[in-house]
Amino acid sequence: MSVSDSSTSPTHSRLCCLCSVKVHNLRWIPLLASFPSSTKKSFEVLGPTDSIVAVAGEDIILPCYLKPNISAEDMTVDWLNLDFLDGRVFRYQNSEIIRDDQIPSYRRRTSLFKEELWRGNTSLKLTRVQGTDEGHYKCLIQSKSWYDDITVQVLVKAVGSKPVVSIEGHREGGMGLLCETEGWHPEPELVWLDSKGVHLSAGPPEIDKDFKGFYRVKQHVIVQETDTNRFTCRVQQSQINEKMETDIHLP
Protein backbone atom coordinates (compact mmCIF):
# COMPACT_ATOMS: atom_id res chain seq x y z
CA MET A 1 0.00 0.00 0.00
CA SER A 2 1.30 3.44 -0.87
CA VAL A 3 -0.01 6.91 -0.09
CA SER A 4 0.16 9.36 -2.96
CA ASP A 5 0.85 13.09 -2.59
CA SER A 6 -2.04 15.32 -3.58
CA SER A 7 0.17 18.39 -4.02
CA THR A 8 3.77 19.30 -4.28
CA SER A 9 3.26 22.16 -1.85
CA PRO A 10 4.29 21.29 1.77
CA THR A 11 1.74 23.78 3.13
CA HIS A 12 -1.03 22.25 1.11
CA SER A 13 -0.13 18.76 2.28
CA ARG A 14 -0.42 19.80 5.93
CA LEU A 15 -3.85 21.35 5.51
CA CYS A 16 -5.35 18.70 3.27
CA CYS A 17 -7.78 16.41 5.04
CA LEU A 18 -8.79 14.31 2.04
CA CYS A 19 -6.06 12.06 0.66
CA SER A 20 -6.09 8.98 -1.61
CA VAL A 21 -4.89 5.46 -1.01
CA LYS A 22 -4.07 3.03 -3.85
CA VAL A 23 -4.88 -0.56 -2.96
CA HIS A 24 -3.15 -3.34 -4.94
CA ASN A 25 -3.06 -1.04 -7.99
CA LEU A 26 -6.79 -1.58 -8.47
CA ARG A 27 -8.45 1.67 -7.47
CA TRP A 28 -8.08 4.83 -5.44
CA ILE A 29 -9.97 5.02 -2.13
CA PRO A 30 -10.55 8.42 -0.43
CA LEU A 31 -9.05 8.52 3.07
CA LEU A 32 -10.07 11.13 5.67
CA ALA A 33 -7.05 12.08 7.71
CA SER A 34 -7.63 13.27 11.27
CA PHE A 35 -5.55 15.95 12.87
CA PRO A 36 -5.53 16.94 16.55
CA SER A 37 -7.71 19.96 17.32
CA SER A 38 -7.48 22.34 20.24
CA THR A 39 -10.01 21.54 23.00
CA LYS A 40 -11.40 23.78 25.72
CA LYS A 41 -10.06 22.82 29.12
CA SER A 42 -13.19 22.32 31.25
CA PHE A 43 -13.87 21.33 34.83
CA GLU A 44 -16.79 20.84 37.21
CA VAL A 45 -17.29 22.55 40.58
CA LEU A 46 -18.58 20.23 43.31
CA GLY A 47 -19.81 20.78 46.86
CA PRO A 48 -22.22 19.48 49.51
CA THR A 49 -25.86 18.80 48.66
CA ASP A 50 -27.09 19.14 52.27
CA SER A 51 -27.21 22.32 54.34
CA ILE A 52 -24.33 23.07 56.69
CA VAL A 53 -25.42 23.73 60.29
CA ALA A 54 -23.00 26.07 62.02
CA VAL A 55 -22.84 26.70 65.76
CA ALA A 56 -22.39 30.36 66.62
CA GLY A 57 -18.87 31.22 67.76
CA GLU A 58 -17.27 28.19 66.12
CA ASP A 59 -15.41 27.83 62.81
CA ILE A 60 -16.85 26.06 59.75
CA ILE A 61 -15.65 24.97 56.32
CA LEU A 62 -17.76 25.46 53.19
CA PRO A 63 -16.59 22.64 50.87
CA CYS A 64 -15.91 23.41 47.21
CA TYR A 65 -13.51 21.64 44.86
CA LEU A 66 -12.77 20.98 41.21
CA LYS A 67 -13.34 17.80 39.26
CA PRO A 68 -10.93 16.67 37.92
CA ASN A 69 -8.51 17.76 40.66
CA ILE A 70 -6.68 20.31 38.54
CA SER A 71 -4.86 23.27 40.02
CA ALA A 72 -6.84 26.42 40.84
CA GLU A 73 -3.72 28.47 41.60
CA ASP A 74 -4.05 30.49 38.39
CA MET A 75 -7.85 30.75 38.48
CA THR A 76 -10.26 33.25 40.05
CA VAL A 77 -12.09 31.96 43.12
CA ASP A 78 -15.15 33.91 44.24
CA TRP A 79 -17.31 33.22 47.29
CA LEU A 80 -20.57 35.18 47.30
CA ASN A 81 -23.42 35.49 49.80
CA LEU A 82 -26.52 35.51 47.60
CA ASP A 83 -28.63 37.10 50.35
CA PHE A 84 -26.61 40.33 50.09
CA LEU A 85 -27.00 42.82 47.23
CA ASP A 86 -23.24 43.26 46.86
CA GLY A 87 -22.42 39.94 48.35
CA ARG A 88 -18.69 39.27 47.94
CA VAL A 89 -17.46 37.21 50.84
CA PHE A 90 -14.01 36.37 49.46
CA ARG A 91 -12.03 36.69 46.22
CA TYR A 92 -8.77 35.05 45.14
CA GLN A 93 -7.37 36.34 41.84
CA ASN A 94 -3.93 36.45 40.20
CA SER A 95 -2.54 34.55 43.19
CA GLU A 96 -3.70 37.32 45.54
CA ILE A 97 -6.55 37.87 47.98
CA ILE A 98 -8.72 40.82 46.91
CA ARG A 99 -10.42 42.60 49.81
CA ASP A 100 -11.58 45.85 48.19
CA ASP A 101 -15.28 44.99 47.87
CA GLN A 102 -15.58 42.40 50.63
CA ILE A 103 -18.65 42.54 52.89
CA PRO A 104 -17.33 44.24 56.06
CA SER A 105 -18.69 41.59 58.46
CA TYR A 106 -16.48 38.93 56.79
CA ARG A 107 -13.18 40.79 57.13
CA ARG A 108 -10.48 38.83 58.95
CA ARG A 109 -12.83 35.83 59.19
CA THR A 110 -12.45 34.17 55.76
CA SER A 111 -9.61 32.25 54.12
CA LEU A 112 -8.79 29.56 51.56
CA PHE A 113 -6.48 26.59 52.04
CA LYS A 114 -3.78 28.01 49.75
CA GLU A 115 -1.63 24.91 50.12
CA GLU A 116 -4.53 22.88 48.69
CA LEU A 117 -5.24 25.01 45.61
CA TRP A 118 -2.85 22.99 43.45
CA ARG A 119 -5.19 20.00 43.69
CA GLY A 120 -8.43 21.90 43.17
CA ASN A 121 -9.54 22.48 46.78
CA THR A 122 -11.23 25.90 46.87
CA SER A 123 -13.13 25.42 50.15
CA LEU A 124 -13.75 28.48 52.33
CA LYS A 125 -12.97 28.61 56.04
CA LEU A 126 -15.25 30.93 58.02
CA THR A 127 -14.27 31.67 61.61
CA ARG A 128 -16.30 32.85 64.62
CA VAL A 129 -19.69 32.18 63.03
CA GLN A 130 -22.39 34.75 63.77
CA GLY A 131 -26.09 35.10 62.99
CA THR A 132 -25.57 37.23 59.88
CA ASP A 133 -23.61 34.36 58.29
CA GLU A 134 -26.77 32.37 57.64
CA GLY A 135 -27.65 32.26 53.96
CA HIS A 136 -26.88 30.81 50.53
CA TYR A 137 -23.27 30.95 49.35
CA LYS A 138 -22.04 30.58 45.78
CA CYS A 139 -18.58 29.18 45.02
CA LEU A 140 -17.65 30.45 41.53
CA ILE A 141 -14.43 29.27 39.85
CA GLN A 142 -13.19 30.87 36.61
CA SER A 143 -10.28 29.98 34.36
CA LYS A 144 -9.37 31.82 31.15
CA SER A 145 -11.70 29.63 29.09
CA TRP A 146 -14.21 28.09 31.49
CA TYR A 147 -16.26 28.63 34.64
CA ASP A 148 -18.63 26.72 36.91
CA ASP A 149 -20.24 27.21 40.33
CA ILE A 150 -22.19 25.55 43.12
CA THR A 151 -24.42 26.89 45.92
CA VAL A 152 -24.05 25.97 49.60
CA GLN A 153 -26.67 26.74 52.27
CA VAL A 154 -25.51 27.66 55.78
CA LEU A 155 -27.84 27.54 58.80
CA VAL A 156 -26.73 29.14 62.06
CA LYS A 157 -27.61 27.74 65.49
CA ALA A 158 -27.17 29.87 68.61
CA VAL A 159 -28.48 29.08 72.10
CA GLY A 160 -29.08 32.33 73.94
CA SER A 161 -29.42 33.37 77.53
CA LYS A 162 -31.71 32.01 80.19
CA PRO A 163 -34.78 34.26 80.53
CA VAL A 164 -34.53 37.14 83.00
CA VAL A 165 -37.80 37.98 84.75
CA SER A 166 -38.41 41.28 86.50
CA ILE A 167 -41.36 42.83 88.36
CA GLU A 168 -42.68 46.03 86.77
CA GLY A 169 -45.16 46.85 89.55
CA HIS A 170 -48.91 47.16 89.81
CA ARG A 171 -50.83 47.47 86.58
CA GLU A 172 -54.50 47.74 85.82
CA GLY A 173 -55.79 44.21 86.33
CA GLY A 174 -52.86 42.85 88.31
CA MET A 175 -49.07 42.81 88.54
CA GLY A 176 -46.84 43.55 85.59
CA LEU A 177 -43.94 41.18 84.77
CA LEU A 178 -41.28 41.40 82.10
CA CYS A 179 -39.31 38.52 80.55
CA GLU A 180 -36.14 39.12 78.46
CA THR A 181 -33.64 36.89 76.63
CA GLU A 182 -30.93 37.46 74.03
CA GLY A 183 -28.30 35.79 71.85
CA TRP A 184 -30.59 33.38 69.96
CA HIS A 185 -30.64 32.16 66.38
CA PRO A 186 -33.05 31.44 64.78
CA GLU A 187 -35.66 33.67 66.40
CA PRO A 188 -37.03 32.10 69.61
CA GLU A 189 -40.49 32.19 71.15
CA LEU A 190 -41.39 33.40 74.64
CA VAL A 191 -44.24 31.79 76.58
CA TRP A 192 -45.71 32.71 79.97
CA LEU A 193 -47.16 29.92 82.15
CA ASP A 194 -48.91 29.74 85.50
CA SER A 195 -48.02 27.24 88.22
CA LYS A 196 -50.13 24.55 86.53
CA GLY A 197 -48.44 24.97 83.16
CA VAL A 198 -51.36 26.82 81.58
CA HIS A 199 -50.42 29.45 79.00
CA LEU A 200 -51.10 33.03 80.06
CA SER A 201 -52.31 35.76 77.74
CA ALA A 202 -49.38 38.12 77.27
CA GLY A 203 -48.58 41.17 75.19
CA PRO A 204 -46.93 40.92 71.75
CA PRO A 205 -43.24 40.02 71.82
CA GLU A 206 -40.72 42.80 71.15
CA ILE A 207 -38.05 41.42 68.83
CA ASP A 208 -34.84 42.92 67.50
CA LYS A 209 -31.36 41.86 66.37
CA ASP A 210 -27.90 42.92 67.40
CA PHE A 211 -25.21 43.77 64.84
CA LYS A 212 -24.13 40.13 64.62
CA GLY A 213 -27.62 38.96 63.74
CA PHE A 214 -28.58 37.40 67.09
CA TYR A 215 -32.13 37.84 68.38
CA ARG A 216 -33.25 39.68 71.51
CA VAL A 217 -36.83 39.10 72.65
CA LYS A 218 -38.85 40.52 75.53
CA GLN A 219 -42.49 40.19 76.52
CA HIS A 220 -44.76 41.77 79.11
CA VAL A 221 -47.56 40.04 80.99
CA ILE A 222 -50.08 41.11 83.65
CA VAL A 223 -50.81 38.39 86.20
CA GLN A 224 -53.47 38.13 88.89
CA GLU A 225 -53.11 36.67 92.34
CA THR A 226 -53.31 32.87 92.56
CA ASP A 227 -52.99 30.32 95.36
CA THR A 228 -49.26 29.95 94.63
CA ASN A 229 -48.37 33.26 92.96
CA ARG A 230 -45.73 31.35 90.99
CA PHE A 231 -45.22 32.06 87.30
CA THR A 232 -42.82 30.84 84.62
CA CYS A 233 -41.29 32.45 81.54
CA ARG A 234 -40.13 29.91 78.95
CA VAL A 235 -37.96 30.61 75.89
CA GLN A 236 -38.00 27.92 73.22
CA GLN A 237 -36.60 27.35 69.73
CA SER A 238 -38.09 24.27 68.10
CA GLN A 239 -35.78 24.27 65.05
CA ILE A 240 -32.75 23.66 67.25
CA ASN A 241 -34.71 21.82 69.96
CA GLU A 242 -33.76 24.16 72.81
CA LYS A 243 -35.73 25.64 75.67
CA MET A 244 -35.04 27.33 79.03
CA GLU A 245 -37.29 28.48 81.87
CA THR A 246 -37.18 30.94 84.71
CA ASP A 247 -39.66 30.93 87.61
CA ILE A 248 -40.73 33.87 89.74
CA HIS A 249 -42.69 33.83 93.00
CA LEU A 250 -44.59 36.93 93.95
CA PRO A 251 -44.99 37.65 97.68
Closest CA relative to residue 132, chosen from 241, 56, 189:
56
Residues found in the chain: 251
Report residue 216 CA to chain centroid gap: 24
37 assigned to some structural domain: no
pLDDT digits (tens, 9 = 90+) for 37-54: 334 568 999 999 999 999
Which of these ranges, 3-17, 74-88, 98-112, has the smallest mean pLDDT?
3-17
Q: At 10, which helix (H) or strand (E)?
A: helix 10-15
pLDDT digits (tens, 9 = 90+) for 135-165: 999 999 999 999 999 999 999 999 999 999 9
The answer on 204 and 153 residing in a single domain is no
Residue 28 reports pLDDT greater than 70: no
pLDDT reported for residue 20? 38
Q: What percent of the chain has pLDDT over 70?
A: 84
Owning domain of residue 237: 164-249
pLDDT reported for residue 41? 66
The answer on 201 and 123 residing in a single domain is no
pLDDT digits (tens, 9 = 90+) for 190-242: 999 999 999 999 999 999 999 999 999 999 999 998 889 999 999 999 999 99
Instruction: Give me the number of domains the chain comprises.
Output: 3
39 assigned to some structural domain: no
At residue 72, φ and ψ (nearest 5 deg) are -105, 10
The answer on 142 and 51 residing in a single domain is yes
What's the first-to-final CA gap in the chain, in angstroms? 114
Task: CATH number of the domain at 106, please.
Answer: 2.60.40.10
Residue 69 burial (CB count, 10 A): 13
15 vs 105, residue with greater confidence:
105
pLDDT reported for residue 40? 54
Q: Distance (Å, rounded) from C-alpha 117 to C-alpha 74? A: 9
Residue 62 reports pLDDT greater than 50: yes
The answer on 146 and 175 residing in a single domain is no
